[in-house]
Amino acid sequence: MVIKEISNRRSVREYLEKEVTDKDIIEIIKAGQFAPTARNNRAVEFVVVENQKTKDEIFEIVGQEFVKQAKVLIIPVTDTTKTNCSMQDLAVASENMLLQATALGVGSVWKNLKSEFNEAEQIKKLLGIPEQYTAINIIPLGYPKEKPVAHDDKDFDAGKIHREKW
Ligand SMILES: Cc1cc2nc3c(=O)[nH]c(=O)nc-3n(C[C@H](O)[C@H](O)[C@H](O)COP(=O)(O)O)c2cc1C
């Protein structure tokens, strides 16, 4: 892989006690902001949560221990009045953030928000996010407890390529 972060990015769910620097947080958000958006709507915004009580409250909504253990939670949100591709806009921003976190040695994982349990709506209410915004996931940040194992060619499946026709 030319871009080593694509191979090195792994889901990290256990973090060190060490704080994530604000410089790293901003670099990760910048990567999210530089992602493409439909018709260049640039409506994605980022809610950063570091307060432990708030992280605990988010954990109560979405589960998974790493949500309260992560040093930082970032919730990318977008304004549904400015884009008709909110899911796509948020997904590409998220992947950019995961790759930038990897480059900085910061661990992360895509924590999905389940629509069947209205998790995004509950988080919006908790954090005072305006009604017209939507969220699909949480990006937790923390320095990894263990070095993640990179992807390599054994994870590559040439059988999933269909040339010209299926
Ligand atoms: C759309 C999506 C939803 C995911 N939701 C969760 C989740 O809620 N909790 C979790 O621990 N991991 C979640 N993951 C992470 C995947 O489990 C992980 O990416 C997958 O197992 C591959 O491992 P890797 O990220 O180390 O390559 C999600 C990933 C994606 C792309």
Residue 66 pLDDT level (bands cut at 50, 70, 90): very high
What is the percent of the chain with per-residue pLDDT over 90, rounded to a whole number?
Answer: 98
Q: Which atom of ligand 1 is nearest to the CA of 66?
A: 11
Element (H or E) spanning 49, and its range?
strand 44-49
31: amino acid identity, one letter: A
Tell me the three state secondary structure of residue 44.
strand
Q: Which string of b and e fits 94-114 if b means at least 16 CB within 10 Å?
A: bbbbbbbbbbbebbbbebebe
Whole-angstrom Cα distance, residue 105 to residue 102? Answer: 5
Q: Is 158 helix (H, G, I), strand (E, B) or coil?
A: helix
Length of the chain (residues): 166
- Phi and psi (nearest 5°) for 16? -75, 165
Residue 110 in contact with ligand 1 by CB distance below 6 A: yes
Distance 109 CA to ligand 1 centre (A): 6
**What residue owns the CA closest to ligand 1's atom 26?**
10
Q: What is the pLDDT of residue 2?
A: 65
Residue 162 confidence class, pLDDT cut points 50, 70, 90: very high
Tens of pLDDT, residues 107-144: 999 999 999 999 999 999 999 999 999 999 999 999 99
Quick one: pLDDT at residue 54? 98
Substitution site in 109, 111, 114, 117 for ligand 1 pocket (most atoms within 8 Å of beta carbon) = 109
Mean of pLDDT values over 6-14: 98
Q: Which atom of ligand 1 is nearest to the CA of 91?
A: 1
| Ligand 1 centroid distance, CA of 46 (Å) | 20
Mean pLDDT computed over every residue of the chain:
97
Across 79-101, average pLDDT: 98
In angstroms, the CA 47 to CA 69 distance is 17
Q: Which of 112, 138, 151 to mutate to test the pocket of ligand 1 (most atoms within 8 A of CB)?
A: 112
Candidates 83, 96, 98; CA nearest to 42 is: 83
Nearest Cα residue to 12 out of 119, 120, 104: 104
Q: How much of the chain is helix, strand and coil, in % rounded to 5?
A: 45, 20, 40
pLDDT at 3: 86
